Amino acid sequence: MPKKRVLPYIILGILKQNPGLSGKEITEQFTCEIGEFWKASHSQIYPELKKMLADKWIEKRSKEDNAKEIDYFLTLNGKSVLKEWIDQPLELPVNRDPFSLKMFFINDKDDPRVNELIDEEKRLLKEQLAHLKMREALLFDDEKRIQQNYGHYLILTRAISRIEGQIAWLKSIK
């Protein structure tokens, strides 16, 4: 049994919310919108798009004979494939967390590296928190936008809540 594929479903989701994006624009989505939850580089995305074209999950419409810009759209088939994926049972991910790993291997409570790791992790989390709060202020400044992109709003507030919780925990142990 092959490992579960996720990337094509993410691309389907991106294209459903933003019909007509190019490969480049899809790549940018991974750095900004869903970068907290998945990373993918263009060298993964372009071959994946070709495969999805071959499978008739998406179609392309090169507008104005411009050879460079290629715009992709979901097919009806692609829409149902996306629906099916969302309805598949959830699984909890493994949290590959370098902070926890390194801390795990320090036995002595008074090891100076304990506080070093805590400070470094706190700094990183605060950076990420600032970024997420900026996104929240930018994207969801009124109730209407929340209603129209409810899932996006939820996971953004969830990520913020998660990081705030982690920072609070880090503060609580010092």
Partner DNA sequence: CGGTCCATGTAAACCGTTACATGATTAA
Partner DNA sequence: TTAATCATGTAACGGTTTACATGGACCG
Question: 10 Å Cβ neighbour count for 121?
Answer: 19
For residue 23, state whether it binds DNA (rule: CB under 7 A): yes
> Which listed range, 36-44, 117-125, 135-143, 150-158, lies at the site for DNA (CB under 7 A)?
36-44
For residue 144, state whether it binds a copy of itself (rule: CB under 8 A): no
Q: How far apart are CA 73 and CA 21, in angstroms?
A: 8
Q: How far apart are CA 19 and CA 79, in angstroms?
A: 12
Q: How far apart are CA 83 and CA 28, in angstroms?
A: 23
Contact code string over 103-122 relative to a copy of itself, x by CB under 8 A: xxxxxxx-x-xx--x--xx-
Contact code string over 60-99 relative to DNA, x by CB under 7 A: ------xxxxx-----------------------------
Q: What does each C-alpha distance from 41 to 10, 62, 100, 121, 140 come to in angstroms? A: 13, 22, 27, 26, 27
Which residues sit at the interface with a copy of itself, rule CB under 8 A? 6, 9-10, 13, 16-17, 33-39, 82, 85-87, 89-109, 111, 113-114, 117, 120-121, 124-125, 128, 146-152, 154-155, 157-159, 161-162, 165-166, 169, 173
